[in-house]
């Protein structure tokens, strides 16, 4: 493993993969924050110590909680494919400058997407940032297939 990490492309991939994974992981504590600050819980056991009357009040959805949850879901749908395809891409030995462009643009688009979702910024800012990230992942996938199948 240590020898693999001497490869500049794999080092860059690892760096940006960790950045977007950590960003995705931060959505869970942010969801909890909004649940507690908004008094909106999803499960009966979360309000077990409350009175029957209070249980009804706290077992509900909240717009801020749902917004963070949707942002988190979108991260799961986009970051996991990036990590898998990005690793395969890094293993094909691409040019470092092209690889860095892919990794940086993806990470930037996902970070911007989260801000656009959570602030919220007007559309089409969020949609464009999603499309940019998706285009990067498809570009890497095409490069992997092109390398493997010698298209």
Q: Give the pLDDT mean for 30-50.
A: 87
Of the chain, the percentage scoring pLDDT greater than 90 comes to 79
Domain segments of the chain as ranges? 4-149
Return mean pLDDT, the chain: 93
The reported pTM is 0.91
Confidence of residue 47 (pLDDT cuts 50, 70, 90): confident
pLDDT at 2: 61
The answer to whether domain 4-149 has CATH 2.40.50.140 is no
pLDDT at 93: 96
Q: Are 64 and 6 in contact (CB under 8 A)?
A: no
Between residues 58 and 51, which one has the greater pLDDT?
58
CA distances from 43 to 26, 69, 112 (A): 21, 15, 31
């Amino acid at each position: 493993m240590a020898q693999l990490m001497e490869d500049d492309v794999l080092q860059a991939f690892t760096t940006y993969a960790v950045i977007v994974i950590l960003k995705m992981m931060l959505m869970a504590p942010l969801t909890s924050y909004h649940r507690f600050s908004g008094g909106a819980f999803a499960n009966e056991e979360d309000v077990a110590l409350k009175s029957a009357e209070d249980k009804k009040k706290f077992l509900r959805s909240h717009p801020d909680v749902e917004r963070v949850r949707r942002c988190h879901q979108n991260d799961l749908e986009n970051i996991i494919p990036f990590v898998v395809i990005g690793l395969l891409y890094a293993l094909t030995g691409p040019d470092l400058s092209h690889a860095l462009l892919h990794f940086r643009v993806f990470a930037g688009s996902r970070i911007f997407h989260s801000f656009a979702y959570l602030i919220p910024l007007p559309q089409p800012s969020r949609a464009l940032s999603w499309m940019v990230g998706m285009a990067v992942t498809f570009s890497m996938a095409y490069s992997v297939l092109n390398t493997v199948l010698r298209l």
